[in-house]
Amino acid sequence: LDVEVLANTLAEEMCAQHGMAYLGLLDYHAYVTAGASEGMEATLLLSFLLETSCLPVVDCRPRGGSSGTCYATAVLLQWDLHTGFHRVVETGRLKETGLDGLERPPSWWVRPLEASIWMTNYAVLRGQPLTSLRSGPWEITLT
């Protein structure tokens, strides 16, 4: 599961639903919701920060340059570990963060949500029991 592609796609869709121009994904993080996973399904909470513009949109681009505003949101997903398919269960509201997209974030704010890039169900596809999800240095134990 390419979490970055998924977060980017969902962020773009949410902006379109709210009549905002999507300027970019600033950060994202996915983790398994404790106690919510059943059988071969994992329940993931994907949170992300995105930058939008409320300017009129022409050809999918804001007119008059960027006046970006940063928003945070979260999406609850069901991920079938056997097939790899996922579906959105619930979408949170876009919440303005107060950080102006034109300002440079502080130097310590490189990846505020500590993004996980990949989660995989390869073990299940190979017939092995899956007890955790791994992504680089991160590991999430499934209960």
Bridge partners (DSSP) listed for residue 65: none
pLDDT given at position 123 = 65
Q: Which of 50, 13, 44 is nearest to 28 (CA)?
A: 50
pLDDT given at position 122 = 63
pLDDT given at position 101 = 47
For residue 8, what is the enclosing H or E element? helix 3-17
Q: Which of 28, 63, 59, 27 is nearest to 44 (CA)?
A: 28
> pLDDT tens, position by position, for the chain (143 residues)?
788 888 899 999 999 998 889 998 888 888 776 445 556 788 888 888 888 886 555 544 444 445 678 888 888 888 888 888 889 988 888 888 766 544 444 444 444 445 444 556 666 667 766 666 554 444 556 55
pLDDT given at position 136 = 45
Residue 51 structure tokens: 């930058």
Q: Rounded to an integer, what distance in angstroms lies between the CA atom of residue 31 and that of residue 43?
A: 8
pLDDT given at position 12 = 93
Bridge partners (DSSP) listed for residue 43: 78
